Amino acid sequence: MNTYARQPVAFVRGEGVWLWDEAGKKYLDALAGIAVNTLGYGHPKLTAALNQRINSGIIHTSNLWRIPDQEAAADRVAEITGLSEVFFGNSGLEATEASIKVARKYGHDRGIAEPAIIVMEKAFHGRSLATLSATGSRKVQAGFEPLVQGFVRVPLNDLDAVRQVAEHNKNVVAVLIEPIQGEGGINVSRLEYLRGLYEICQKHEWLFISDEVQCGMGRTGKWFVYQHAGFQPDVVALAKGLASGVPVGACVTGGRAKGVFKPGNHGSTFGGNPLAMTALRVTVDTVKEEKLMERAVKVGELIRAELKNHNLPGVKEIRGMGSMIGIELERPCGELVLQGLNAGLVFNVTADNVIRLLPPLVMNEAEAREVVARLAPVVKSFVDKRVAA
């Protein structure tokens, strides 16, 4: 189906942060399959564990039975999130969809017949009907109306807007937020804003739902952005980098959301299968063992600082946290992706004019310098050409 505007390249081999295409050309990867390949390509620990799992003959059983790999993975997720229950699916939208269902069920359990969830402008939560309705982008929603009801939208980083909703809408049961908006253009929530939002949730007994599908898993220097702000949400949605490329989504609950889902409330045939759970366990353990969160901070700071040193023309702002980086240009710059590929660098452009860098967490400082060495001339010639034209 014609759902993707694809670039004319196919990667057929990978090692560390490097990729090779069909013609043997080598590329430096600063995107990690959009924050998915946490451990880069061909990580020996991941490859060995997956091979072992496959060689055992079992990659799927069923959630009808106990799944020891799932139990081990759930322990890891509980440990890194600080929450206590986890439901495994296969993608980000399944994680956010489950979170929305938890919020609605929480409302119904409290006698609210039409529960509402506060969501943010420019947020992205997925492409199922409920998650696209929660998403703050008309482009994502257009053509799929009628939208799912029960979402109230406010601007990011604006506590007064949330307080006003609280005053007028007694059906609100939860806030759903991407603490750093990825698809929306690397828009970072202020930490004091997150703390204020959490306090409002506490006051009104709303669930705080953190969609960390893109910004989570150590990329910002802590496992999750809410840990920078110093509180525990009730629900966390995870996917992308959680299993380094094997599809996994997770809806994690604790606090007020603990025990909301009962047997029969939710399910997924493939969710939590032994293969995916093996990848999750190894990803978490390797991020810890190899101190990849510390590395993500160093690499991210280095890239941002070196880019700033270049004083590139046409750049409005360089922002982000750790290895989640947005470079906002003054005008739309989608064509830069192909120019980057020509220069042997993989990145993408989001929100029309934001170059997005989400390197694998195994990137080292020399490779980070090389990202800047390849990216800066591409941006410069793009802007120079526009000025000349």
- The Cα 335–Cα 326 span in angstroms is 16
Q: How many CB atoms lie within 10 A of CB 310?
A: 16
Q: Which residue, 36 or 329, has its beta carbon nearer to ligand PLP? A: 36
User: Looking at 130, 235, 239, 243, which residue binds ligand PLP (CB under 6 A)?
Assistant: 239
Query: What's the full length of the chain, in residues?
Result: 389
What's phi and psi for 17, nearest 5 deg?
A: -105, 20
User: Looking at 85, 183, 328, 367, which residue binds ligand PLP (CB under 6 A)?
Assistant: 183
Instruction: Collapse the DSSP code of 172 into the 3-class scheme (helix H, G, I; strand E, B; otherwise coil) and give the result.
Output: strand
Query: Residues 80-119: x/- map of binding to ligand PLP (CB under 6 A)?
Result: -----------xxx--x-----------------------
Q: Which residue, 214 or 323, has its beta carbon nearer to ligand PLP? A: 214
Helix axes 44-55, 274-289, angle to 10 degrees: 160
Q: Does residue 151 bind ligand PLP (CB under 6 A)?
A: no
Query: Residues 46-75: x/- map of binding to ligand PLP (CB under 6 A)?
Result: ------------------------------
Nearest to 305 by CA among 289, 332, 283, 327: 327
User: Looking at 53, 104, 105, 125, which residue binds ligand PLP (CB under 6 A)?
Assistant: 125
User: Could you tell me which stretch among 120-128, 300-308, 334-342, 352-360 binds ligand PLP (CB under 6 A)?
Assistant: 120-128
Q: How many CB atoms lie within 10 A of CB 145?
A: 8
The strand pair at 172-177 and 116-120 is best described as parallel
Least spacing, CB of residue 389 vs ligand PLP, in Å: 33
Q: Which residue, 148 or 376, has its beta carbon nearer to ligand PLP? A: 148
User: Looking at 14, 33, 126, 359, which residue binds ligand PLP (CB under 6 A)?
Assistant: 126
DSSP 184-253: TTSEEPPHHHHHHHHHHHHHHT-EEEEE-TTT-TTTTSSSSHHHHHT---SEEEE-GGGGTTS--EEEEE
What's phi and psi for 39, nearest 5 deg?
A: -95, 15
User: Looking at 133, 210, 214, 220, which residue binds ligand PLP (CB under 6 A)?
Assistant: 214
Least spacing, CB of residue 311 vs ligand PLP, in Å: 31
Total binding residues toward ligand PLP, as defined by CB under 6 A: 14
Q: Does residue 321 bind ligand PLP (CB under 6 A)?
A: no
In the complex, which residues of this chain contact ligand PLP (CB under 6 A)?
Answer: 91-93, 96, 124-126, 178, 182-183, 211, 213-214, 239
